[in-house]
Every structure is written in C-alpha cells, then in structure tokens.
Amino acid sequence: MNWTNWEHGVIAMILNLGVLVFFCLVLNPSFWLIVCCMLPGPYFFAGREHTQQEMRLKNKYGEKEITHKITIEALKFWEWDRDSQLDLYMPIIFSICLGLISCVVLL
C-alpha cells in the first residue's frame, strides 16, 4: 500500500462530500439521497483504473489488437496488480465510511 491509495480515498471522499453538501442544501436529506451522493467518487476511480488497465494491455499486446477484446480483458479486476486493486478499493471503502457517518449525523 502506498500513498496514492490513500490519496484516491481522500479525493473520493472530498468529491462525495461536496456532492452531499450541495444536495442536502437543496433537498431534504434522506437515506437514498446519501446513498446516491456516495457514488461519484468510486465511479470516477473505477473508470480511471479501468482506463489505465486498458493502456497497460494495449502496450502489452500492441496497437493492432482488437479494441473490444482489450476492453473486456481490462474488466477482469482480479487479474490487476495489487496497487491498481487498492486504487479501486480505497475510494469504495472511504465512501462507505463517509456514507455511514453521514447517515448517523444527518438522519
């Protein structure tokens, strides 16, 4: 585990917190509002890590490889290296913790 894993978690938490504060000011806080506000951070980093895995596979197989084959193979997150997996899991863990804390505080 390195520093970028923690950075990704903190950035996802800040992103989710910003969305949560905005929507709680506009709408009445509810459980489902909090759940929906916890999604942008993990989705952003899941897309980012998937794109990085596609680039690694493209460099591995070459530019002439069929694009959809690389895209499907990049979805196999259990075959990623440990650092990439932690870059994916840490935003999810931080967002779940923030969601639980928000439920306790706001509801």
Domain count, the chain: 1
Question: In this predicted model, what pLDDT tens digit does every residue of 2-57 receive, in sequence order?
Answer: 898 999 999 999 999 999 889 888 888 888 888 888 889 999 999 999 999 988 88
Separation CA 72–CA 70 (nearest Å): 6
Asked whether 96 and 16 are in contact (CB, 8 A), the reply is no
- Domain boundaries, position 29: 3-106
pLDDT at 7: 93
Quick one: CA dihedral 96, 102, 103, 105, positive or negative?
Answer: positive
